[in-house]
Amino acid sequence: MKPIPGSVEQFTGIYNTDLIGAPSLASVYDQFVKFTEGCILVTHAGYEFDLPLLKNECKRSNLSMISALCVDTKALFSYLHPEIEDIIWTDYLIKHYNINDKDLKRHDALGDSILIARIFLRILEDLQLRNIEDVDFAKPVIVKRFQIKPLV
């Protein structure tokens, strides 16, 4: 296993010591595939980070990539708000939609899942207010990538 760089530990709050005794992807992947079967996965920047990482890990472990459909909050928000030129990161959406996250642990699987669900529900409300029933990504959507600022 490759160690987590110190800057990533500081940013995410996930430390190498947290991974001691963690199961391998290969040993839990079938459970994950069954868990997601028939579901649409909701991500935030999943096409940038999570899905490529999962695809690479599946390839390394000789596992089939999940076939579940994925919807991304960053892409949906950018679709709804092409006029916004800011980088659409999680904290931006929390502020934009005035979402309470004080009861959640950030950079934690459960906490982040609940937070992304709250954001997704607000985006669905946004779609409903605009009477948008179908999202068509046939036209390019410009999504600015997240930039990590150097820690000083």
Q: Which residues are CB-neighbours of 55 under 8 A, at least 6 positions away?
A: 65
Residue 94, domain member (yes or no): yes
Among 60, 82, 79, smallest CA distance to 71 is for 79
User: What's the CATH code of the domain at 34?
Assistant: 3.30.420.10
pLDDT digits (tens, 9 = 90+) for 55-87: 999 999 999 999 888 999 999 998 899 888 888
Residue 135, domain member (yes or no): no
pLDDT for the residue numbered 150: 56
Read off φ and ψ for residue 70, nearest 5 degrees.
Answer: -125, 140
pLDDT for the residue numbered 147: 57
Residue 138, domain member (yes or no): no
Residue 95, domain member (yes or no): yes
Residue 75, domain member (yes or no): yes
pLDDT for the residue numbered 87: 86
- Side-chain-side CA neighbours of residue 132 (13 Å): 14
Residue 96, domain member (yes or no): yes
Direct distance between the N- and C-terminal alpha carbons of the chain, in angstroms, rounded to an integer: 28
Distance between CA atoms of 141 and 71, rounded to whole angstroms? 14
pLDDT for the residue numbered 38: 93
pLDDT by 10-residue block (mean), the chain, 152 residues: 84 86 93 94 89 94 92 91 88 95 87 95 96 82 62 53
Q: What domain range includes position 113?
A: 6-129
Residue 140, domain member (yes or no): no
* Number of structural domains the chain divides into: 1
pLDDT for the residue numbered 145: 62
